[in-house]
Amino acid sequence: MRAISLSSTLATLASQTRRGFTLIEIAIVLVVIGLITSGGLLAISPVIQSAKISETKQKMATVGNPPLD
């Protein structure tokens, strides 16, 4: 008897397959993507700041020595 009930239980579980994702799973994935993105932006921020400073220095040097007409 026990083998029959176990067999029917397994058949029932196999027929109830999940389809799709739950809202909690999607929310967790979005949070993880957000954390990875913010970490990447924090890592790149000093490089962007350095590029802006060097660009401004270059523009100031150009403006500081205008051509004489």
CB atoms within 10 A of CB 39: 10
Under the banding of pLDDT at 50, 70 and 90, the label for residue 26 is very high
Q: Apex CA 23: angle with CA 18 and CA 28, to 5°?
A: 110
Query: Would you state the pLDDT for residue 19?
Result: 80
b/e code 46-63 from CB counts within 10 Å (16+ = b): eeeeeeeeeeeeeeeeee
The string of pLDDT tens digits covering residues 35-62 is: 999 999 889 999 999 999 999 888 888 8
Query: Would you state the pLDDT for residue 31?
Result: 97
Identify the weakest region by mean pLDDT among 1-10, 29-38, 49-58. 1-10
- Mean pLDDT (the chain) is 82
The answer to whether residue 64 scores a pLDDT higher than 80 is: no
